[in-house]
Amino acid sequence: MEKEFIRETNHSVSLNITAGKVDSFRETEKTTGTVRVYENGFIGVAGCLGEPDWDELTKRAVEALEFKIPYPCALEGALDERITLDDEIIPIPEFIHTIQRFLDRLGELCPRFAFSNKINLVSRKTEYRNSHGRHLVSSGSTLEIGLLAQNRGSGNLFDAFFVWDGNEYDEEKLLSYFKEQYDAFFVPAEIESGRYPVLFMPGYIMPRLFTQFMDDMYASGVSLVSGKFGEKLFSDKLTFGDDMNPASHPAACFFDAEGCVSENYRPLLIENGVLKGILTTKKTAENYGLPNFGNADAAYDGTPGIGFHNFYLDPTAKSLAELLPEKAIFAAIPDGGDMTPAGHYATPVQLAYLMENGRIIGRLPDLNVSGEFFDILGKDYIGTVKDDPMKGVILCAFEMNVKVME
Amino acid sequence: MIRFKSGFYADIRTEDRFRTVITYKAGELEELKVRTEKQAFLRVYDGKMWYYASVTDLEHLQATLDGLYAAATENPAIMDDPVVKRFENNRDRLMSFEGCSVRDVPVKDKQALLLSYLPIFAEENCVTMAEGHYLDRNSVFTFVSSLGADIAYDYQTCGLAFNFNMAEGEKKFNGSFQNGFVRFDEMKGLAAVLRATVSEQAAFLRESVPAEAGTFPVVLSPEAAGVFAHESFGHKSESDFMLSDESMKAEWEIGKTVGSPILSIVDTGEVSGSGFVPYDDEGTKARKNYLIKNGVLAGRLHNALSAASLDEGLTGNARAVNCDFEPIVRMTTTYIEGGELDFDELIAPIKKGYFIKTINHGSGMSTFTIAPHIAYEIVDGKLGRPVQISVITGSVFETLGLIDALTKEVQLLSFVTGGCGKMEQYPLPVGFGGPFVRVSSMTVQ
């Protein structure tokens, strides 16, 4: 009988901010344990909250084999690899004081905005072992800033987001980064409807597009890329996948729920425009005759399913100025859009900025942007920049149809 | 027995959550799990800061509570604090599902129920893969506070969700169906409904055409109308958004006209379904709250902090997704009240427009969005071809004023997957619904 053992611990300290003041402190620590066993083509899973009793969990996982859930046993081989990025970012006893000082300074620099929501210190550790001698440990910490900004008097739920995450707290750089956006917010800008380069954070546009790379959709013929594995379908410049690399995301786990470790910790869906990967688990990879993608997720008591962690795109330029030297649009908040089965993608943009020479210079009215799936990732893909204007920020640009809303 | 200290407000919420998840894909069992989790969330308030802890160790709650007290600052005047003075002090035991708990239904019966519906998908040639889910949840909550509140109540939902990929030639479509209930027996006898849904979505695959983009009259089904009310106005009614900006109270003055005179929107935790919240997570009893009444802003949703800040009454809307989080202001069941017409009368005046029958998702900021799943043209007052629409959008206030007709009957709906998201807390089960709603102009893309 083959076995897997997984222990995961999440520790977070979360501050709530209301009207620029810290008004609550929340500390959470959660440990989960998982045992999976494989026998005769079936899987049994048992999980627990709290410190795992491995013998008890194994016994329950063996009992769960009775459900007869088919799952191929294809455990990864022996490997001992550990990545720990546990440097302290802000000492917890100083956390409230440090963040309140940051908020006070932010409030002075951005007096017309009222700030609220959360700032978190998060640490995660995941340990994986299997009966083939594989032992993987991944741990890391990150500071997550997620501030809603209300323009005082606007009457809106919020008018802007100030978000950033990383494992270095540089107060001056963060204030400068947010101040640039604040200043531009109050400078009205105009644009005519037409076609423009539009810049996005990948987490806004990619979720609607990457569903086309899901195993079941691909295999059942419903995906726009069904049957095209290995073909050159997209821009030469586009390399796109799941970023599980702790160098980019300090709290990321470099291995997936099935103990798979990818090259550079970044399994790729598209490489230089070629369809190179489809999101699978080991089970669906075997069922559909596809290479296993290697980014599966699983609940602590569930069978593995397809996952996605962080969007990765190969940088194609060193700076925003190099990527977008002329007029462009930064879609800071493009929320609610979707794609039709035929691949027409459209979304309103509730907060858009005009950019020139890589810098935001003013706020545009509400827009709608649209494009076709193969064009967006093909001829209309302009490129990607990382760490500009701030370390940890990744931005990607596409030529799109832009309609100014009246 | 918990010992509360004077000089602080404190409360402890526990949840014993039972869940069943059964999934079949392409006829093969993918997942079968029965999970029970017990957690607690503790709060201490000293008049200046809130201190929270989330724990799975329910045997040592006193030690955790004492740790929070140690972090806080004793306040002899805490009972005069405006937030503390707002809290209700209810003592109640309300078990609505003891005689029909899903905990007592054998998992084999749940498995058999799901399996009984799967052959329906094989009846349509264009279905290339079908996935079915049985999901249920039964929770028992307790709430105690330093004011003497002592409440126990239960909550239950169950349902079926199906995703079915459809392809024929170059045409492709992701079909889906889900429905939420509160009792296991309610899920029997769904074959006809499911068969009709699959048939309709197969027709959508074969016959739908891209919608003409532009500005048109749009009719929303109860599902779409409920999501519209939730996204366009419900979130704006969550008063914690007003705490950071004083001017929002003036902008959102009670009595201000915000919509069409035929429009009334309600939020209440009293209704059975996924938004059933007989007591919220601060121990406040549910009630019916009008957000809009006859087009006029009539009320807001509160927790104790927002109610105290805005000097208004509690509404029963302090909710947390689970015991990992503190309660914040959330909706329960939000719906538009009915009007006067029937469906044929509603669409009769429309020369060219769209009917949104089912949706993929929605969102709400100053512009709200609804991403339709199944939609139809309306031409010369009749339903026409199925159409593909990426998203419909509108300015919230403008659209509320453009609602010009409603049907009589209101349908209230529950989803069994997904839920409402608000910043870090997702997915929260909510209920929603309404009549069929006609909006004279929306942007279609």
Considering Cα of A315, then A321, then A325, then A330, what sign does the dihedral take?
positive
Shortest distance between the Cα of A125 and any Cα of chain B, in A, equals 18
Please tell me whether residue A145 adopts helix, strand or coil conformation: strand
Q: Is the CB of residue B202 less than 8 Å from the CB of residue B165?
A: no
If you ran DSSP here, which 8-state letter would residue B151 be given?
Answer: E
**Of A271, A254, A276, A402, residue with least CA distance to A328:** A402
Q: Is A24 on the interface with B (CB under 8 A)?
A: yes
pLDDT single digits (tens) A57-89? 999 999 999 999 999 988 999 999 999 998 899
Chain B residues near residue A67 by CB distance under 8 angstroms: 29, 32
Q: Is the pLDDT confidence value at A264 over 90?
A: yes
Q: What is the pTM of this model?
A: 0.93
**Helix axis angle, B191-207 to B107-117, nearest 10°:** 40
Non-local (6+) Cβ contacts of A12 within 8 A are A26, A27, A28, A29, A120, A121, A122, A123
If you ran DSSP here, which 8-state letter would residue A321 be given?
Answer: H
Q: Is the CB of residue B243 less than 8 Å from the CB of residue B250?
A: no
pLDDT single digits (tens) B337-360? 999 999 999 999 999 999 999 999
Chain A residues near residue B175 by CB distance under 8 angstroms: none
Chain B residues near residue A18 by CB distance under 8 angstroms: 240, 243-244
- How many other CB atoms sit within 10 Å of the CB of residue A380? 19
pLDDT single digits (tens) A353-405? 999 999 999 999 999 999 999 999 999 999 999 988 888 889 999 999 999 98
Rounded Cα distance between B305 and B283, Å, is 14
Q: Is the pLDDT confidence value at B168 over 90?
A: yes
Per-residue model confidence (pLDDT) at position A174: 94
Average pLDDT, chain A: 95
Per-residue model confidence (pLDDT) at position B40: 97
Per-residue model confidence (pLDDT) at position B304: 97
Q: Is the CB of residue B418 less than 8 Å from the CB of residue B230?
A: no
Chain A residues near residue B235 by CB distance under 8 angstroms: 157
Non-local (6+) Cβ contacts of B415 within 8 A are B159, B178, B180, B274, B429
Closest by Cβ to A28, choosing from B57, B235, B324: B324
Q: Is the pLDDT confidence value at B84 over 90?
A: yes
Q: Is A116 on the interface with B (CB under 8 A)?
A: yes
- How many other CB atoms sit within 10 Å of the CB of residue A170? 12
pLDDT single digits (tens) B88-101? 999 999 999 999 99
Per-residue model confidence (pLDDT) at position B71: 94
**CB-based contact A216 B165, cutoff 8 Å:** yes
One-letter amino acid at A300 equals Y
Non-local (6+) Cβ contacts of B99 within 8 A are none
Rounded Cα distance between B290 and B237, Å, is 10
pLDDT single digits (tens) B288-313? 999 999 999 999 999 999 999 999 99
**To 5 degrees, how large is the angle CA A95–CA A99–CA A102?**
150
> Could you report the predicted ipTM of this complex, rounded to two decimals?
0.91
**CB-based contact A69 B32, cutoff 8 Å:** yes
Longest dimension (CA), chain A: 67
Spell B406-441 as b/e; 16+ CB within 10 A means b: bbeebbbbbbbeeebebebbeebbbbbbbbbbbbbe
**CB-based contact B236 A157, cutoff 8 Å:** yes
pLDDT single digits (tens) B196-248? 999 999 999 999 999 999 999 999 999 999 999 998 889 889 999 888 877 77
Q: Is the CB of residue B78 less than 8 Å from the CB of residue B84?
A: yes
Q: Which of residues 316-345 of A touch B (CB under 8 A)?
A: 333, 335-342, 344-345
Q: Is A41 exposed, middle or buried (0-12, 13-18, 19+ CB in 10 A)?
A: exposed
Chain A residues near residue B56 by CB distance under 8 angstroms: 30, 49-50
Tell me the mean pLDDT in the region B395-416. 92
Number of Cα atoms under 13 Å in the Cβ half of residue B396: 23
Q: Which of residues 291-320 of A touch B (CB under 8 A)?
A: 299, 301-303
**CB-based contact A150 B167, cutoff 8 Å:** no
Residue of B nearest to A216 (CA): B129
Q: Is A77 on the interface with B (CB under 8 A)?
A: no
- Dump strand ranges (E) for A203-358: 240-242, 268-271, 274-275, 311-313, 328-333, 338-339, 344-349, 351-356
Chain A residues near residue B393 by CB distance under 8 angstroms: 336, 348, 368
If you ran DSSP here, which 8-state letter would residue A353 be given?
Answer: E
Per-residue model confidence (pLDDT) at position A179: 94
**CB-based contact B53 A27, cutoff 8 Å:** yes
- How many other CB atoms sit within 10 Å of the CB of residue B169? 9
